[in-house]
Structure 1
Amino acid sequence: MLRRTIKKQSTQFFSLLALSIAALGLTHSGISQANDQGANCGVAGLSVCPQPFDKTLPDPHNMLTWNQATRVVGFRNTYRLYEGDVFSTQGAKPSPLMPASSPLPAIDYAMNGKHYSIDNYIANQSVTGLLILKDGKIAYEYYGKGNSENTLWTSRSVAKSVVSVLVGVAIKEGKINSVDDKITRYIPELKGTAWQEVTLHQLLQHTSGVVWDENYASSDSDFSHMTQCEAKPAPYDCVLNLVKSVKRKPGVKPGEVWSYNTGGAWLVGRVLENATGMTLAKYLESRIWSRYGMQQDGVWHALVKDKVDMGGHGFNATLRDWGRFGQFVLSGGQLPSGEKILPDDWIARSTHWTTAKGSVTPSAPNGQYGYQWWYSAPAPDANAEPKKTATSEQTFWALGIYGQTIAINPAERLVMVQWSTWQNAETPSSLYDEQALFVNAVSEALHGK
């Protein structure tokens, strides 16, 4: 995800392609039709059929150029558009998410001299799901565009933060020796490539120095090529060859320059899978999903079913289970049993922002990226309030294109989850400003509650 540190990309490419494919409709012939009763959930092994179960699905080849209505259908059915590995609750009893004792107070934030409410926020952000947890209780919950409590919504790059947490679990278990290990220790086929000298620490912080074009508005970017690979019948070799083929930026050593890189994030997942001998889905299931009290099975996008999952994105779960995952992170990695499965300092290390060139900006003077978690704050010149709260500097973010979000403020014991279908992947940048302003306003409204 490029974020506001890169110049706003032209949306002309999106508009032209969206118009050109509009006549194609939403049909994707490669998806079998299933009945509404859930006899076939589209993925073998799901214990509950997600709803709504849309019968007509979009073509994944066109994911970056779907219009907003198409994106709603595509994002809640992404688990069916690709091969998937289920991460199951294993029948465990869900941990309760009880309603808060009092309703969410009125929310007020300001941008460009205008004041906005929570209803304005939902409209401005094209929100299709919103969950606010305070002290682990539901202060606010909203579903839009036909989504429901058992909709599986796709994470986009929020999955990177999930993988980062799993890396911490693997380090505590001794399956990964250290973030200072070179990644070739776990992925030997990268020897002799641009990735050869990169450590896991640098890979997690996206400071590999390897050139990767993440431009979502270009049909010829590396990210776009990866999207096309994923939609092919045998995606693994295509993605691997793409990621291995990129070059090092001339004169740039690992650790010197920050540049957001989904190809590198996929390699973080490969490090984890090779170190643990499990897919991302299976490791998530065995360590967290079946032990924390999640309410429903989820699906992780697989490049090779039961062998290789997509570490850069591809996590699909319910809104409340996104929230429960946020609660798990807020706790520092503690299960309901009291067992701590993350290193004591893992969250602090994960949110220690890199100051490599490109990470420090006027909005993020101490850096904006850690171990696949973001620092996010309104632009300093934004005519907006509340720009800060007493604890807003402690908020950290899992962010995915088109507005997917988990925001966590440990000091306020606050977790916010957002599903959205922005018109464009990341523009305008004021949408990110608005997210930060909204979380600050929620934090102020709930402070001391």
Structure 2
Amino acid sequence: MKRMLILGGALGAVLTGGTWLWRHHGELASNRPVNEWTFTHMDKLMPSERVLRPESSRALLRRGKLPDVRYCFDGRRYSLAELHRRTNTTSFVVVHRGRVVAEEYPGWFAAPGVRFQAFSLTKSVTSLLIGIALEQGEIGSIDDPIVDYCPQLRGSGYDGPSIGDLLNMTSGVGGLEDWSVADAPIHRFERAVTTGGSVLDVIRSLPIMSAPGQRFNYSTIDSHVLGWVLEAATGRTLAQNASARLWSPMGAEHEGYYFLTRGRPRTALGGGSLNSTARDLARIGMVMADGGRVGADQVVPEAWVLRSRGAGAPSLQVGALGPSGYPHYGYSNQWWTLGGPHRAFTGLGVHGQYLWVDPDRETVIVKTSAWNHPDDPDRDRETVAALSAVVDALQESGSTTAPG
């Protein structure tokens, strides 16, 4: 009861002062317990553009249930119920061999039709749309300079890096993306997005830290620039691209949306503003798990899927990313790679958003969360341990239970 009274008072502040609250979201809106509301109601706080669903969706069929899963973390064993409690899970969907074997919504405002803020998991979707635009000939090559598509960036740090450099977070532009530093570039970018300031001015102000292609440095701004490249190349917004080239061919069940910059011209964030149901995020994962296909249709180029499972550069391998990445991840093509014999990979978003894809073991896992802090190394390590255990349990069981 006490928890609900606290939440009710906090939500009252949200509902009566949404604009003020979002401008000060670092103080309140992204912290628990308010963030459970914020992360499912972004269209109430920011301008948005819909990602349209097709006239008919492809069913997500159910098969049995997930085996009893226990995972080990820091010397103790836990259940998935404990994972959800310990890591503030809001939705959890597991697909094995094309069938749903688990679907839960522990979040206070969560349900199958609720759109969750994907944060940086958006980057992985932007990558898919870039890959499709390359296949369609709208983008010439990943070796093309960024300024060929974004002339407004001539004379800035982005006058030199290629599309491929940004896809692998090796642009050499800007410093460490650190949410704990009040005046870090990511905070200046965020303030421009949410208060109507000039996003372009922030991006043009970023210093060159290294030559392109040499050093991994995780950058939401790199991904935002990729969104600009995609929009310039295709003549369509991110939402229009996602509607036509993902939501429609994969048979999405619900509309999604991108929130937009408050200042004009309003634009979506290629690095962080997609909102989608967990079920439709699972459909995106299923496309990737099946080599870019939906049935007989090749939606994402197969070579693009392979590129997303791991690049050859030593500096992008698991454990080699340096201070800008955790030691259990590598990076490739706007996806975090997991290495090993199965070469699984995952989209990630701050506050605990995951789209885990293991094509070899035919498994996709969606976990949305409402962590109190944007980056939480311990909760991330625990989630990786738990999701790995889920995949292992499904492999061992063969998911042979009868359809439910």
Q: CA deviation at 1:93?
A: 1.3
Structure 2 residue aligned with 1:350: 308
Out of 301, 309, 317, which is 2:268 matched to?
Answer: 309
Name the residue aligned to 1:417.
Answer: 366
Q: Does 1:210 align with 2:168?
A: no
Deviates more, 1:352-361 or 1:408-417: 352-361
8 Å CA contact 2:40–2:109 kept in 1: the answer is: no
- Alpha-carbon shift at residue 442 of structure 1 (Å): 0.8
Matched, 1:318 2:288: no
Q: 8 Å contact 1:333–1:341 — kept in the other structure? A: yes
2:390 to 411, 430, 442: 442
Give the distance between the partners of 1:217 and 1:65, measured in 2 at CA.
Answer: 12
- Match of 2:300, SS state, is coil
Check the 8 A contact 2:36/2:109 in 1, yes or no: no
Note if 1:178 corresponds to 2:127.
Answer: no
**C-alpha contact (below 8 Å) 2:329/2:336 kept by paired residues:** no
Quick one: distance in 2 between partners of 1:203 and 1:239? Answer: 18
Q: Deviations over 1:139-174 (max 9, x none)?
A: 111112131111111000000000001000000000
Of 188, 194, 207, 1:225 maps to 188
Deviation by residue 1:194-246 (Cα, 9 ceiling, x = unmatched) = 111100000111111112342112221111112211221x35xx111101111
Return the alpha-carbon distance in structure 2 between the equivalents of residues 123 and 106 of structure 1: 17
Mapped partners of 2:255, 2:239: distance in 1: 10
Rounded Cα–Cα distance in structure 2 between residues aligned with 1:83 and 1:262: 20
Give the counterpart letter for 2:269 in structure 1: M
**Mapped partners of 2:331, 2:51: distance in 1:** 28
- Identity rate, percent: 27
Match of 2:354 among 405, 428, 431: 405
Matched, 1:262 2:220: yes
Aligned to 2:111: 148
- Relative to 1, partners in 2 of residues 1:147 and 1:239: Cα closer, same or farther, differing over 3 Å? same
Secondary structure at 1:406's aligned position in 2? strand
Name which of structure 1's ranges 222-231 and 301-310 shifts more when overlaid on structure 2: 301-310
Q: Distance in 2 between matches of 1:307 and 1:62?
A: 20
Question: What aligned pairs does 1:374-393 form with structure 2 within 5 A after superposition?
Answer: 374-376=336-338, 393=342
Distance 1:24 1:125, change over 3 A: closer
Structure 1 residue 253 and structure 2 residue 211: aligned?
A: yes
For 2:52, the equivalent position in structure 1 comes to 88
Pick closer, same or farther for the CA change 1:365–1:418 going to 2, 3 Å.
closer
For 1:120 and 1:355, the matched residues in 2 are separated by 37
Instruction: Give the alignment's TM-score, normalised by structure 2.
Output: 0.88
1:91-110 per-residue CA deviation (whole Å, 9 max, x = no partner) reads x211111111x221110111
Aligned to 1:339: 297
Unaligned stretches of 5+ residues in structure 1: 1-21, 32-56, 378-387
Secondary structure, aligned partner of 2:388: helix
2:48 partner amino acid? G
Aligned-residue offset at 1:344: 2.5
Q: Is the contact made by 1:79 and 1:152 (CA closer than 8 Å) also made in structure 2?
A: no
- Using the TM superposition, give the Cα deviation of residue 322 of structure 1 relative to its aligned residue in structure 2, in angstroms: 0.9
8 Å contact from structure 1 (residues 206, 264) kept in 2: yes
Q: Does the 8 Å CA contact 1:180/1:200 hold for their aligned counterparts?
A: yes
Given that 1:266 and 1:312 are in contact with CA atoms closer than 8 Å, whether structure 2 keeps it comes out as yes
Supply the distance in 1 between the matched residues of 2:22 and 2:164 (Cα, whole angstroms).
32
Q: Give the AA of the match of 1:412.
A: R
> Following TM superposition, by how much is the alpha carbon of 1:58 offset from its aligned partner in structure 2, in angstroms?
7.6
1:331-376, Cα deviation, whole Å (9 max, x unpaired): 222234x221322211111232443389705998897111110024
Partner of 1:194: 157
Match of 1:128 among 90, 98, 109: 90
Separation of aligned partners in 2, 1:180 and 1:191: 17
- The 3 A distance-change label for structure 1 pair 216 and 143 is same
SS class of match (1:431): helix
Alignment correspondent of 2:5: none
The secondary structure found in structure 2 opposite 1:27 is helix
TM-score, length of structure 1 as denominator length: 0.80
Change in 2 beyond 3 A, CA 1:366/1:125: closer
Deviations 1:301-321 (A, max 9, x none): 123789622111110011111
Paired amino acid for 1:401: V
Contact 1:256 1:357 in 2 (8 A): no
Mapped partners of 1:293, 1:367: distance in 2: 31
- What is the CA RMSD across the aligned residues, in angstroms? 2.4
Q: Structure 2: any 5+ residue segments left out of the alignment?
A: 1-8, 400-404
C-alpha change, 1:361 and 1:157, in structure 2 (3 Å) is closer
Mean Cα displacement is larger for which, 104-113 or 264-273?
A: 104-113
- State the 1:72 CA deviation: 0.4
For 1:64 and 1:341, locate their aligned partners in 2 and report how far apart those are by CA, in whole Å: 38
